[in-house]
């Protein structure tokens, strides 16, 4: 069994709103491929943690309370599938703000290790859909799994920090 599965939220667990942020519970739509992967993920990981950049808070588009409500709603949607997150870490800061918690920085990984001292990063995985997710995972010493389309513009960068590149979390889960 692997240790901890770190997951980006938007684009991995739920449908990403292009040009917008999930600010309310009615905007949260779970990805079908994530739902179908849950049984295999549960059988192969002992812990589940979300690490998500949410600069919509710093931009004043929503509050930390709004994001917390979205996460409580997310957890309620996943309970019937038997999935529970051990922790959800949120960076509320704006890109370029210089904080140490915004991916690709590893402040959220450090917080997870502080909260769960038995985490073994060498036996843990980061699944995300962006270059910053992969850089975060690599810097923290996690196996990195890129979910999504690789373009000519980002191919070299993504390949440089991703251990696995696939189009769906289902493909990853089926090969555990």
Exposed e or buried b for every residue in 133-162, given b needs 16+ CB within 10 A? bbbbbbbbebbbbbbbeeeeeeeeebeebb
For the CA atoms of 49, 89, 164, 167, what is the dihedral angle to 10 degrees?
A: 90
Q: Tell me the two tokens of residue 163.
A: 């251990």
| Listed residue (123, 109, 114) closest to 2, CA to CA | 123
**What are the CA-CA distances from residue 147 to residues 37, 62, 66, 118 (Å)?**
13, 27, 27, 27
Residues annotated as catalytic (active site), given as ranges: 8, 10
Q: Which are the contacts of 15, defined by CB distance < 8 A and separation ≥ 6?
A: 29, 30, 31
Task: Please give the Cα distance from 153 to 155 (Å, whole number).
Answer: 6
- Check residue 149 and report its DSSP letter: P
Task: Please give the Cα distance from 133 to 6 (Å, whole number).
Answer: 10
């Amino acid at each position: 069994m692997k240790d901890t599965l770190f997951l980006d939220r938007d684009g991995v667990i739920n449908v990403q709103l292009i040009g917008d942020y999930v600010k309310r519970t009615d905007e949260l739509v779970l990805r079908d491929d994530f739902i179908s992967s849950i049984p295999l993920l549960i059988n192969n990981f002992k812990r589940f943690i979300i690490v998500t950049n949410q600069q919509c808070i710093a931009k004043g588009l929503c509050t930390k309370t709004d994001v917390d409500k979205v996460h409580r709603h997310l957890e309620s949607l996943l309970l019937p599938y038997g999935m529970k997150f051990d922790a959800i870490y949120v960076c509320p800061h704006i890109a370029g703000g210089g904080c140490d918690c915004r991916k690709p920085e590893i402040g959220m990984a450090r917080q997870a290790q502080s909260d769960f001292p038995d985490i073994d990063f060498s036996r843990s995985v980061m699944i995300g859909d962006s270059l910053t997710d992969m850089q975060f995972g690599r810097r923290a010493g996690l196996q990195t799994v890129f979910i999504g389309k690789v373009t000519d513009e980002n191919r070299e960068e993504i390949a440089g920090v991703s251990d696995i590149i696939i189009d769906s979390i289902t493909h990853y889960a089926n090969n555990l």
